[in-house]
């Protein structure tokens, strides 16, 4: 195995000579709409592998009979700390890895040799709640990166040189920042910011991939007179709550290429306390279907109304076809932060209709769910409000936080990284919205993590039959949360990290049996990916513990004596079958 260091102090001027000595990665194949709609199995061109959001690789060389022979081929340090949440994106011999601190690293995906490094220095005075990045996007001969300080940049894929840069949001006065990977559809680069805890009104913006020109903006909270605005206060003390209502669109969406419809998740309410914005509050905690050409809303479904628990709906649902009465029915499936797994129908025009939902972890808030509409009724004792304390389950980190679920068309199962037996308690207060100031409607010191007594586990993986709507198997982690996205493969293997023991694991996708594990220097919270070169399949993952899961680890140490801190520091790992 080659152990390499990221470029670090190496000057870009000497990189070409390094690559030439190794033969180099060769020409860069431009990324087209056709390639993104039908990505080659040997490449990993999108954050979740395909537009449908499956996190699935059609490669099958690695399977249950040989995965135990998986060995590291090369590894490279990223030279930064904090939580690494971006997958390795691969186009032929070019691999791109985004890291915290506004950095993109390019490697030869076969050898691990450094090709270039891009880094945008943070402006003086900048700060953000989550100093991370969830990946790059590809189009043509460019790589697109959204920086935490609200800028979107296009880089030359072969050299890393900046081609253009555009402003997405305003961190100084608007309180927004970006952690999301962009999504490119038909030459439009789309990305939305974070910042719901600071009173940001959520939005998604699209930019021309060649020029960086802003094309459209879609706000997730409608303004006065727009459809949905009637679900916000019209008068009284809270009549302007829509202006700072949250609903940030801080994760990449999915795309129905056949019908040209985007599906994008919408985050939590701002402030967290729902009685400070009475009403259903569209489109908080929802999925929106959008026209990618102008951002127009085509349809929506709201997972829960008047969000009061920081249960963001930011993860776009996975696009699948349900087998129903001998017919293929286009649908959406999603394990949401509120602890329910949702089955939704979709049509060619982007209309979304509720089909069913089931709890996959303990939820103490929903008393019932309307079987026709999916609208829940609430246990008011589990709903925090202004001046009122409440305990609710699951906690604000949800049954599943941002990590990606995976869908395998081979097994017909959805694989969900979950956390259970955890709850939250806080009291609502009124906080002003001001630049750089926390305004979630609760003091940070008052947010209490409550763990179920004698809990048997917290984290784990569940496998659900998509058509059967039932859990098939689960694996649980008695002494760890799970913040790891899942990769499914055609070899009927799923790969996942996410645990505090720093292990990267392979499971039998049909039975859940653990088949292989490998210890990395830090915990893994990035999505794995898979690619092939010269007929050989590789598995890539980026280690680097941090952000929310590190905070949770400290809380579990204080309450239960868990290891206080998991080692941090980023590194890229690439595996293949040994002899």
CA distance linking residue 228 with residue 344, whole number of Å: 20
C-alpha 327 chain-centroid distance: 31
Tell me if residue 275 is catalytic: no
Is the separation of the CB atoms in 264 and 316 below 8 Å? yes
3-state secondary structure labels for all residues of 518-529: EECCCCCCCCCE
CA distance linking residue 343 with residue 353, whole number of Å: 9
CA distance linking residue 354 with residue 520, whole number of Å: 41
CA distance linking residue 473 with residue 445, whole number of Å: 38
Name the residue among 421, 488, 515 with its Cα closest to residue 460: 421
CA distance linking residue 484 with residue 490, whole number of Å: 20
307, 310, 401, 548: the catalytic one is 310
Token representation of residue 118: 């891009």
CA atoms within 13 A on the CB side of 313: 30
Is the separation of the CB atoms in 250 and 177 below 8 Å? no
* Helical (H) or strand (E) element with 35: helix 33-37
Q: Could you write out the DSSP letters of every residue in 76-126? A: EE-S--S----PPEEETTEEEEEETTTEEEEEETTT--EEEEEEPPPPTT-
The SS3 call for residue 230 is helix
Name the residue among 384, 521, 365, 355 with its Cα closest to residue 448: 384
CA distance linking residue 365 with residue 186, whole number of Å: 41
Q: Taking the CB of residue 457, how many other CB atoms lie within 10 A of it?
A: 18
The SS3 call for residue 405 is coil
Q: What share of the chain is helix, strand, coil (3-state, %, to 5)?
A: 10, 40, 55
CA distance linking residue 145 with residue 187, whole number of Å: 15
Is the separation of the CB atoms in 574 and 540 below 8 Å? yes
Kindly provide the residue ranges of all beta strands, DSSP E only, lying in 157-222, ordered along the sequence: 162-167, 183-185, 188-191, 203-208, 214-219
Residues carrying an active site annotation = 310
């Amino acid at each position: 195995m080659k152990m390499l260091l990221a470029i670090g102090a190496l000057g870009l001027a000497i990189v070409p000579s390094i690559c030439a000595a190794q033969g180099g990665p060769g020409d860069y194949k431009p990324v087209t709409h056709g390639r993104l709609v039908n990505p080659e199995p040997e490449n990993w061109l999108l954050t979740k592998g395909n537009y449908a959001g499956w996190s699935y690789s059609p490669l099958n060389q690695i399977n249950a009979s040989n995965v135990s022979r998986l060995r590291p081929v090369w590894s490279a340090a990223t030279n930064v700390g904090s939580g690494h949440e971006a997958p390795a994106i691969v186009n032929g011999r070019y691999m791109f890895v985004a890291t915290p601190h506004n950095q993109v690293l390019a490697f030869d995906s076969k050898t691990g040799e450094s090709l270039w490094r891009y880094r945008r220095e943070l402006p003086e005075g900048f700060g953000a709640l989550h100093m991370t990045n969830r990946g790059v996007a590809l189009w043509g001969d460019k790589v697109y990166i959204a920086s935490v300080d609200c800028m979107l940049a296009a880089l030359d894929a072969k050299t890393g040189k900046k081609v253009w840069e555009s402003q997405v949001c305003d961190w100084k006065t608007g309180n927004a920042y970006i952690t999301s990977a962009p999504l490119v559809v038909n030459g439009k680069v789309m990305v939305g910011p974070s910042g719901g805890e600071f009173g940001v009104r959520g939005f998604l913006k699209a930019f021309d991939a060649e020029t960086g020109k802003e094309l459209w903006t879609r706000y997730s909270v409608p303004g006065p007179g727009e459809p949905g605005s009637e679900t916000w206060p019209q008068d009284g003390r809270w009549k302007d709550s829509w202006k700072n209502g949250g609903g940030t669109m801080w994760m990449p969406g999915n795309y129905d290429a056949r019908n040209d419809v985007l599906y994008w998740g919408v985050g939590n309410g701002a402030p967290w306390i729902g009685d400070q914005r009475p009403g259903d509050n569209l489109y908080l905690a929802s999925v929106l279907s959008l026209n990618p050409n102008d951002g127009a809303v085509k349809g929506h479904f709201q997972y829960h109304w008047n969000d009061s628990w920081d249960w963001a709906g930011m993860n776009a649902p996975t696009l699948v076809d349900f087998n129903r009465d001998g017919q293929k029915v286009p649908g959406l499936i999603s394990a949401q932060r509120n602890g329910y797994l949702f089955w939704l129908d979709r049509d060619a025009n982007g209309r979304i209709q509720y089909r069913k939902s089931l709890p996959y972890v303990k939820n103490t808030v929903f008393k019932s769910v309307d079987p026709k509409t999916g609208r829940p009724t609430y246990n008011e004792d589990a709903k925090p409000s202004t001046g009122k304390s409440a305990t609710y389950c699951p906690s604000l980190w949800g049954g599943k936080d941002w990590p990606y679920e995976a869908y395998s068309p081979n097994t017909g199962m959805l694989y969900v990284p979950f956390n259970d037996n955890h709850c939250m308690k806080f009291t609502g207060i009124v906080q002003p919205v001001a630049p750089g100031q926390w305004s979630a409607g609760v003091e940070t010191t008052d947010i209490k993590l409550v763990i179920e007594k004698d809990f048997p586990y917290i984290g784990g993986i569940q496998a659900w039959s998509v058509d059967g709507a039932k859990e098939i198997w689960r694996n649980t982690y008695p002494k760890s949360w799970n913040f790891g996205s899942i990769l499914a493969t055609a070899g009927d293997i799923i790969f996942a990290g996410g645990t505090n023991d720093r292990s990267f694991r392979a499971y039998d996708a049909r039975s859940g049996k653990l088949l292989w594990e490998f210890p990395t220097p830090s915990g893994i919270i990035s999505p794995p990916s898979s690619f092939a070169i010269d007929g050989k399949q590789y598995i890539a993952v980026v280690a680097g513990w941090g952000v929310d899961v590190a905070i949770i680890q400290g809380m579990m140490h204080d309450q239960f004596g868990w290891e206080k801190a998991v080692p941090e520091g980023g590194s890229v790992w690439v595996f293949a079958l040994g002899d």
